[in-house]
Chains A and B, each alone.
Chain A
Amino acid sequence: MSSWLDRWREYFLSWYDEGAVEEKAREAAEFACRYVDGGVVSVSGGKDSMAMLHIIAAMCREDVDVFHWDHGPALMPRQIEEEILQNIRAVAPRARLVVRRYSLGVSERARVDWRPWYREFFSTLEELGYRHHILGVRADEGKRRRVRGRVVDRGRWVEVHPIYSFTWRDVWAYIFRHGVPVPRVYYVYAQHVGWDKARLTTFHDREFEKYGNQIDAVFMWREKNYREEKKRGVETGGDIGRGFQL
């Protein structure tokens, strides 16, 4: 594992210069600075949003507002959620962190019915009242994102994508160069599905069944049998045992 990771680290570090990632990061920071006042940096804890948060905190402003959405224990194992919050605090210690938890996220229903998620998520965004939402969306991620554009006016708020022109190589190069912390589960998935396809999404979620999440049951088997009654003082599946073996 370590030699595999070392080889990739070497590759990404060389890509940092070759791909002019430093220049892209400066341009992204300059762009984001225009929207930070009255705006919020939305951070899922994944590689893109963590790299973006690092760029903004290091090159723009440290005391930004950061919004993080906690999907709840049924969809996001608690050790990963804790890791995400630690990472955000490490990257932007002076940020004002706003965390909201999905109310259905403690229920197994959250794994099969995702419509309430969208309703609650968007009403939370509205309730927060920020004009600009700064997101780690990249054009490289897919056709729908490519046609979306760098600034999208949603009416009630405006979505801003500072790292829109970054590729997956650029993001990993930035992460390795600056030591940006990302959840360790990335390395488990990257080893098996590739660095370009390793993404942080909810786990054991039927919404992503079409996108090959069958491997969650093999790599994240501890969390597969999440049960609601465990929230009543007893541990959840994810909190027991030794966690990931890296």
Chain B
Amino acid sequence: MTPLKVVFFLRTPVALGFPWIFFDSLIAHVALREELGERYYSLPTKTPIDRIPDLPLKRWRDVYVASVSVFEHEAELAVYQFYKRGDFPFPKGKIRRGSGFFKDFIIRAAYVPAHKVVFYATGELEEVERLVKRVSALGKERNVGFGAVKEVVVEEVEEEWGLVRGGLAMRPIPVKLLRRYEDAAYLAYKPPYWAKESVDLCAVPFTHVELA
């Protein structure tokens, strides 16, 4: 396992569904998509998949040594609003899309106009590189053009910065694994990030921490 720096160069701003993108989640997504192929897109919604493939990343206790996104150059969040037609079975004839049941969705995408997104992780260089090369876009609303990736560069770094860098947490870390922390919130800290079981009281990324 090697300490790595993964840099995504972007063509378009990256839209977010949460203040950060989690690198282990991204790798898990690509690995699962690769493993399941077309079946990935028809997963059952009532019994969602609860198995995460083996990731080529180092684990420290229950946490992957993989940081959240670091946006460069640091830019302020902005919001882009657009309208989406509902995916209902539309009836024949005239319907109102401005109001009522078939009203169009207002989608508000919070986006960061960053030029590059950096992640730090510790893992198998070749496997991580192979997986990240399969990422064509980052973040949310990729289908409307957000987060398009121009190039990905994976390089070795001297130190392991996937968990902590310069005393700052680089990802959510459960407070039970910390000796000291500055700020905490209930956050998911392992994939799948949508699952309740992954949520615990964690140190907030980019706040001061000390590992136990």
Contacts and interface: CB of A to CB of B under 8 A. Distances in A.
Contacts of A212: 81, 106-108
What is the size category of the interface that chain B forms with chain A?
20 to 34
Q: 3 closest pairs, A vs B, by CB?
A: A212-B108, A212-B106, A218-B110
Interface string B107-129: 11110000000000000000000
A210 B88 CA distance: 13
A162 B108 CA distance: 32
A211 interface: yes
Q: Which residue, B81, B106, B199, has most C-beta atoms of chain A within 10 A?
A: B106
Interface in A51-86: none
A201 to B, nearest CB: 13
A224 B185 CA distance: 10
12 contacts: A144-B99, A209-B105, A212-B81, A214-B17, A214-B108, A215-B109, A217-B17, A221-B19, A224-B18, A225-B186, A240-B201, A241-B185
A226 interface: yes
B134 interface: no
Contact of B204 (A144, A209, A213, A241): A241
Contacts of A226: 186
Interface of B: 16-19, 77-79, 81, 99, 103, 105-110, 140, 183-188, 196, 199, 201, 204
Given A209-B105, A215-B79, A217-B18, A225 B188 contact: yes
A225 B184 contact: no
Interface in A216-233: 217-219, 221-222, 224-227, 230
A115 interface: no
A60 to B, nearest CB: 35
A233 B92 CA distance: 54
A231 to B, nearest CB: 13
Contacts of B79: 192-193, 215
A218 B16 contact: yes
B196 A227 contact: yes
A207 to B, nearest CB: 13
A237 interface: yes
A240 B77 contact: no
A143 B99 contact: yes
Contacts of A34: none
Nearest to A208: B106
Contacts of B99: 143-144
A211 B107 CA distance: 7
A237 B106 CA distance: 27
B201 to A, nearest CB: 7
A180 to B, nearest CB: 26
Nearest to A192: B79
B28 to A, nearest CB: 19
A227 B199 contact: yes
A119 interface: no
Given A214-B17, A218-B77, A221-B19, A192 B183 contact: no
Contact of B77 (A192, A224, A225): A192
A225 B187 contact: yes
Contacts of A144: 99
A154 interface: no
Contacts of B201: 240
A218 B19 contact: yes
Contacts of B17: 214, 217-218
Nearest to B184: A240
B106 A215 contact: no
A242 interface: yes
A225 B78 contact: no
Interface string A11-22: 000000000000
A226 B201 CA distance: 11
Contact of A215 (B110, B184, B187): B110
B107 A192 contact: no
Given A209-B105, A219-B110, A242-B183, 17 more contacts: A144-B99, A192-B110, A193-B81, A210-B103, A210-B106, A212-B106, A212-B107, A212-B108, A214-B17, A215-B109, A217-B17, A218-B110, A225-B188, A225-B199, A227-B196, A237-B186, A240-B184
